């Protein structure tokens, strides 16, 4: 397999693009080598500029749940394009998609569409502060909620500490109201509340997807929600990644909790830039123009994105592929673990619904600290061997793999062969 054209484009892109990419996760920094440049995609496959075709487990980091260029989604997009691209005014489809989303989430009466997951989260944080009249927010180490200043933070030492900026350009003042807790550790949350009386809420990925797939312990989320109710604080669920990926709705329902505010993105745009945040009426009526919390966006509710989202969710509800997702994820888990055992490679596999990923470690992964014990050098070898055998994965040990309903038995067979060869390559390190 050759990557000459990708290499040429990478070198050319360095002149006018930062690192030749528009998002650092595309830069292949953690796996080495130059990033691949993609030419096209269809169904379960993605093809690079050198003509190499791969089974796609990146799926644009989640939104392509039906596979690429699904015919019904494509038809809806073409129909919308004929009417115009953006109006800066309301459209009927915004109401239609809002109903589909609200109906899928118990406790969500109203929703506000925005243009990205990052925008949804920063708006939800502002809303929680407006509703409670308090300033501080608790987040969990290893959970990613977009690149807004207040959430680009790294944990300090100890369980209860003020956070420090996790990026240059983020002043300490921007994160002074952000506190860090440990995922799956309720006591680390309580420690903050014992020290501070001005905490508006806690934001969490119900299923973490940016430290690899990490699941909550039994009752962790339920006990967290009960504790927050007792403290008059809100639970904000960041389901930008998990929304519509484990069921038609959110992971919250499967985990038997109901967040006060939910953030969405990815799938609800069907491949177009969309984010959303929603809650019950008394909270959402704080948002302008009904209330005093201001948030606006010229491209919010973009008509092309709304059409794509409606078509995607309508087809997704019709297909109801969630049982098949679980079966496919189970098959992949077995394939990974058996290949690892065969080649004497330490491996742990975590999965939830249509999200899965292997950790190159010999111990369970239940939080960010445990995830960081994974051998990233082994993952890099594994990644490139999978690429050479026609499997497109996220170029990071700490990113989830995603499944689409377009995956075929032939795709899984090809993946099985690639996994065996990749584990063999890892064993020779």
pLDDT tens per residue, range 198-208: 999 999 999 99
Confidence of residue 18 (pLDDT cuts 50, 70, 90): very high
pLDDT tens per residue, range 175-232: 889 999 999 999 999 999 999 999 999 999 999 998 999 999 989 999 999 999 999 9
Query: Maximum CA pair distance of the chain?
Result: 63
Bridge-based pairing state of the strands 53-56 and 45-48: antiparallel
Distance CA 104, CA 316 (A): 12
Distance CA 138, CA 155 (A): 11
Q: Which residues are within 8 A (CB) of 242 and not within 5 positions of it... i.e. 6 or more apart?
A: 205, 206, 207, 209, 250, 251, 352, 353, 355
> Nearest Cα to 274, choosing from 66, 60, 130, 72?
60
Distance CA 373, CA 34 (A): 25
Which residue in 54, 61, 144, 183 is the catalytic one?
A: 144
Q: Is there a contact between 154 and 179 (Cβ–Cβ < 8 Å)? A: no
- pLDDT of 163: 43
> Nearest Cα to 250, choosing from 219, 278, 272?
278
Confidence of residue 318 (pLDDT cuts 50, 70, 90): very high
- Rounded to 5 degrees, φ, ψ at 140 are -105, 140
pLDDT over threshold 80, residue 128: yes
Bridge-based pairing state of the strands 275-279 and 261-264: antiparallel
pLDDT tens per residue, range 92-115: 999 999 999 999 999 899 999 999
Q: What is the DSSP letter of 36?
A: P
Distance CA 47, CA 40 (A): 5
Which residue in 266, 277, 375, 420 is the catalytic one?
A: 266
Distance CA 394, CA 382 (A): 12
pLDDT tens per residue, range 382-417: 999 999 999 999 999 999 999 999 999 999 999 999
- pLDDT of 50: 98
Q: Is there a contact between 367 and 182 (Cβ–Cβ < 8 Å)? A: yes
pLDDT over threshold 60, residue 10: yes
Distance CA 239, CA 106 (A): 14
pLDDT over threshold 50, residue 159: no
Distance CA 340, CA 344 (A): 6
Secondary structure element (H or E) that encloses residue 67, with its range: none
Which residue in 48, 56, 238, 411 is the catalytic one?
A: 238
Distance of CA 421 to the CA centre of its chain: 28
pLDDT over threshold 90, residue 169: no
- Assess whether 238 carries a catalytic annotation: yes
- pLDDT of 146: 86
Mean pLDDT of 48-61: 98
| Token couple for 38 | 């993609």
Average of per-residue pLDDT values in the chain: 94
- Assess whether 266 carries a catalytic annotation: yes
Confidence of residue 152 (pLDDT cuts 50, 70, 90): confident
- pLDDT of 255: 95
Distance CA 304, CA 269 (A): 9
Residue spans of the domains in the chain: they are 4-65+321-427, 71-319
pLDDT over threshold 60, residue 165: no
Q: Which residues are within 8 A (CB) of 363 and not within 5 positions of it... i.e. 6 or more apart?
A: 348, 370, 373
Q: Given the structure tokens 């078509």, which residue do they identify?
A: 311
pLDDT over threshold 80, residue 279: yes
pLDDT tens per residue, range 36-47: 999 999 999 999
- pLDDT of 162: 39
Q: Which residues pair with 291 in a beta bridge?
A: none
- pLDDT of 123: 97
- pLDDT of 67: 98
The answer as to CATH 3.40.50.150 being correct for domain 71-319 is no
What architecture is the 4-65+321-427 domain classified under in CATH?
A: Alpha-Beta Complex (3.90)
Q: Given the structure tokens 């007792």, which residue do they identify?
A: 230
pLDDT over threshold 90, residue 34: yes
């Amino acid at each position: 397999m050759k990557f000459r054209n990708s290499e040429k484009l990478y070198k050319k892109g360095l002149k006018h693009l930062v690192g030749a990419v528009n998002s650092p996760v595309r830069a292949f920094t953690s796996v080495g080598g130059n990033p691949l440049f993609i030419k096209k995609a269809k169904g379960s496959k993605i093809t690079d500029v050198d003509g190499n075709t791969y089974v796609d487990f990146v799926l644009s980091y989640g939104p392509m749940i039906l596979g690429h260029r699904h015919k019904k989604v494509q038809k809806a997009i073409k129909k919308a394009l004929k009417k115009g691209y953006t109006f800066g005014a309301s459209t009927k489809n915004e109401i239609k998609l809002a109903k589909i989303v609200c109906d899928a989430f118990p406790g969500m009466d109203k929703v506000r569409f925005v243009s990205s997951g990052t925008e949804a989260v920063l708006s939800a944080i502002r809303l929680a502060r407006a509703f409670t009249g308090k300033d501080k927010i608790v987040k969990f180490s290893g959970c990613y909620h977009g690149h807004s200043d207040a959430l680009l933070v790294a944990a300090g030492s100890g369980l209860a500490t003020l956070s420090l900026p996790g990026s240059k350009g983020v002043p300490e003042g921007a994160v002074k109201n952000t506190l860090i807790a440990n995922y799956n550790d309720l006591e680390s949350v309580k420690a903050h509340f014992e020290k501070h009386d001005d905490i508006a809420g806690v934001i969490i990925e119900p299923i973490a997807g940016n430290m690899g797939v990490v699941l909550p312990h039994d009752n962790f989320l339920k006990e967290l929600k009960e504790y927050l109710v007792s403290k008059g604080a809100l639970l904000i669920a960041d389901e930008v990644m998990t929304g519509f990926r484990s069921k038609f709705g959110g992971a919250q329902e499967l985990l038997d909790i109901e967040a006060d505010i939910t953030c969405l993105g990815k799938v609800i745009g069907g491949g177009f830039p969309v984010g959303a945040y929603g809650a019950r009426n008394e909270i959402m009526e704080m948002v302008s123009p009904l209330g005093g919390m201001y948030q606006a966006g010229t491209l919010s509710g973009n008509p092309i994105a709304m059409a794509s989202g409606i078509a995607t969710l309508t087809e997704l509800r019709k297909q109801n592929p969630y049982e098949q997702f679980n079966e496919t994820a189970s098959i992949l888990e077995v394939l990974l673990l058996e290949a690892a055992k065969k080649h004497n490679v330490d491996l742990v596999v975590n999965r939830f619904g249509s999200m899965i990923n292997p950790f190159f470690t010999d111990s369970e992964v239940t939080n960010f600290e445990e995830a960081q014990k994974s051998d990233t050098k082994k993952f890099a070898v594994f990644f490139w061997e999978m690429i050479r055998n026609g499997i497109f994965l996220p170029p990071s040990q700490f990113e989830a793999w995603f499944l689409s309903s377009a995956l075929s038995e032939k795709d899984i067979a090809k993946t099985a062969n690639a996994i065996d060869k990749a584990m063999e390559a890892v064993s020779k390190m």
